[in-house]
Amino acid sequence: MHASRLVSIVDELESLGLVVREGNAEDRRTNSLRITPQGRETLAKIATIGRQHNEALCAALNPEEREQLSNLLQRIADQQGLTRGVHPGLRRPGRDAACDDVAEKTEGDAAGKTEVEGAG
């Protein structure tokens, strides 16, 4: 993702009250992003909707079939060289390392902070 696009996304998240941007005293090129209580609530709602969608999608499968499907899809993902836990849309040819950095940085710490270079 281009840095200017990332900044506009962070701007939108901040305007919605989902994150707060905080300057980094050690490196003025970066900002820390902290998820707000409203952001955590929104994230929880998204997770609930995702689980409901998965349940509806797999309703025809019993638990063993779901496990088998999950294992088969993971084998395909592994064969394709996809990184576990990273959405394939975040990976682009020639930009994998940068995308890995973003994925690692967006995990943040327990306080909900993450460093995002150029997000200011």
Q: Count the alpha carbons within 13 Å of 36 in the hemisphere toward its beta carbon.
A: 14
* pLDDT single digits (tens) 66-105: 999 999 999 999 999 998 877 776 655 444 444 444 433 4
> What pTM was estimated for this model as a whole?
0.58
As given in the structure block, the two tokens for residue 17 are 């009250």
Domains of the chain by range and CATH?
Answer: 3-59+95-117 (1.10.10.10)
pLDDT of 53 reads 95
pLDDT of 87 reads 75
* pLDDT single digits (tens) 17-72: 999 999 888 888 888 899 999 999 999 999 999 999 999 999 999 999 999 999 99
Within 10 angstroms of residue 17's Cβ, the number of other Cβ atoms is 12
